[in-house]
Amino acid sequence: MSRPWFSPTPVIQGRIHRTTLLVTVALLLLLMRFWYLQILEGRYYATLSIHNRLRLRLVEAPRGFILDRSGAVIVENRPSFSVYVTPADIPDVDEAARAIGAVLRQAPEEIAARIRAGQARPAYPVLVAREVSEPTMVAIEERKMNLPGVSVRVQPTRAYLDGDVAAHLLGYVSEVTQEQLYRDEYRDFQSGETVGQTGVERLFDAFVRGINGREEIEVDARGRLVRFLDRLEPQSGFNLVLTLDAKLQHAAEKAFAGKRGAVVAMHPQTGEILAWVSRPSYDPNLFAQRLSRESWEKLITDPAHPLQNRPLQAQYAPGSILKLVVMAAGLDTGALTPGTTFACPGYFTLGAVTFDDWEKGGHGRQDLMQAVAHSCNVYFYQAALKTGIDAIARVAREFGLGQKTGIAAVGDEAAGLVPTPAWKRSVLGESWYPGDTVITGIGQGMILVTPLQIVTMVAAIANGGTLHRPWMVKRVESWGGEVVAAYGPEPVRRVNLSPQVLELLRQGMLGVVEDGTGKAARVRGVQVAGKTGTAQVVRKEARISGQTKDHGWFVAFAPYTDPEIAIVVIAENAGFGGVVAAPVARAVLEAAFGPPRGRETVAQGPGARE
């Protein structure tokens, strides 16, 4: 029997056994690990794998359009390029931020902060830049290999077609802030989404915003698109139809150019806002494009306060506009009649104090209707004393002064102030003196009003005594024209004054324009009733140069017999109301009632100033 070519020795045989045992144990360990990963933890790692190759993209819904009362588009959307970064595809945040910042010309720190804020949901892209230029978009596409996780998308961006026109009424949109994301009302929002922040954009955001869509995509190891897996289409927001009249708005803006203050036009029968000017203004398109920190700081530190919504937030002394209240209170209490006369030598003396008239030579003896037409201060000093501050304050409150109008608005509406002896004693710890009543009689002193309160009061005089809550949105419509929600007049109350008193107020206002200080508001072919006012201002600072001290007021309604429009104009630090504010109102009225059939020549002498 032949011997095998190899016969292991006992030593070698032992080594083989040990090696076999080690290999067997290793295989068993690998099998156990495989069983653990595939069976026990299989679902977890499958999910992790899917997340590493799946991405979810928000598809932002286009906001609804905003239209004026006749259907003219005021606010729409336009396409723009936005840059997103998916945190899951970023191995080194700081390095990626530097590379992205170099292309976008943005601070890397800001980009890194945005990426880290999105790491809680790494599969969801984070917005890092809006409104990038086409060359920048091309540069990003060219560097895609070196910019993993970076994508450029076309998105709808808000477009305010007339820039800063009616900006305070329309409001603006911007990205939802980190602070807002912590609030319950924004819990379903994602960072980078657009939301209405002020004005009707904010008030009706739930209607206008629409419902966002979603894309589910597969990406490769570098975050590049492989294929689309699923898409949920966005649903566009509803359209808003405002009460605003674009023709009147543009007329008011043009006539008020270069001035500071406010213009508000209202339909006296319904309370609908027809025009809303607050100057200086701002361009809401800046916010839609992501406002830089420097631009924001410039806006909020501007001494002219362009963000202030003057019609409802700025408070002014009403000046001679308050003479309408004094007249109403005097007639209501019987302290005055249309035939009540006072002499006006150009001044009035009370004790040791002399109160001047704006007409230095005086107006002579005036009855009530003449005194309103000529805005005689001396007459109303004495009329206020005879009527009494309590009656004046009561009628002022009847007309809505000293209280908020109740308009639906973003931001605090100022209530103004109607001072009384009780208020002065309680707040200032001082007694009420006859001199306080005298200066209140011409709208000076402690009394404060907003332009919106004044136009609401004038509308009530015009319509026969109904105080309306101002409103600015007529309806919400679908893209097919279906009415989703509709709004209408909201009468607050009837003013507690007799029809006879209200008619005398209207007659007095007619005399102002026909033969008094408001001649500059005449419109050929239309009877206009109005009232001028000039409020003295004591300036505490002079950071804004080139201004006089007085605010110029003018209020009006027209046509006289069946009013369709009430208007208030206040021009800050611009001079006499009859000179600077009345022509603005005339321009709006001419726009409302058609082109004038030839302009009357109106003298701007002393009698037309106040």
Strands 66-67 and 239-242: parallel
Determine contact, residues 536/317, Cβ cutoff 8 Å: yes
* Distance of alpha carbon 381 from alpha carbon 445, whole angstroms: 13
Chain centroid offset of residue 37 CA: 58
Rounded CA gap, 390 and 420, in Å? 7
Instruction: Please give the C-alpha separations between residue 276 and each of 193, 216, 312, 459, in angstroms, as whole numbers.
Output: 29, 45, 10, 15
Rg of the chain, C-alpha, whole Å = 35
Q: Which helix (H) or strand (E) holds 249?
A: helix 246-255
Contact status, residue 109 vs residue 115, Cβ threshold 8 Å: no
- Other C-beta atoms closer than 10 Å to the C-beta of 498 total 13
What is residue 155's three-state secondary structure?
strand
Instruction: Tally Cβ neighbours within 10 Å of residue 515.
Output: 13
Q: What angle do CA 539, 540, 545 make, to 5 degrees?
A: 60
Query: How far is CA 180 from each of CA 60, 84, 164, 607, rounded to the nearest angstrom?
Result: 18, 21, 26, 55
CA quadruple 126, 127, 129, 132: dihedral sign:
positive
Distance CA(608)–CA(151), nearest Å, equals: 65
Cα–Cα distance, 453 to 558 (Å, whole number): 18
Selecting among 49, 320, 375, 431, the annotated active-site residue is 320
- 431 among known catalytic residues: no
Cβ of 100: how many Cβ atoms within 10 Å? 25
Separation between Cα atoms, residue 477 and residue 491, nearest integer Å:
24
Helical pair 389-398 and 323-333, crossing angle rounded to 10 deg: 110
Look up residue 224 and give its DSSP letter: -
Tell me the torsion sign for CA atoms 350, 356, 360, 362. Answer: negative
Q: Torsion angle of alpha carbons 47, 49, 52, 54, nearest 10°?
A: -60
According to DSSP, the β-strands at 473-477 and 466-468 are unpaired
User: Beta 173-175 vs 194-196: how paired, if at all?
Assistant: antiparallel
d(CA 212, CA 550): 51
For the purposes of burial, counting CB atoms within 10 Å of the CB of 234, is it exposed (0-12), middle (13-18) or buried (19 or more)?
middle
CA–CA separation, 264 and 257 (whole Å): 15
Q: Report residue 165 CA to chain centroid gap.
A: 11
Rounded Cα–Cα distance for residues 598 and 280 (Å): 32
Q: Report residue 564 as tokens.
A: 């369709």
3-state secondary structure of 453: helix
Do 506 and 560 contact (CB within 8 A), yes or no?
yes
Residues marked active site are found at 320
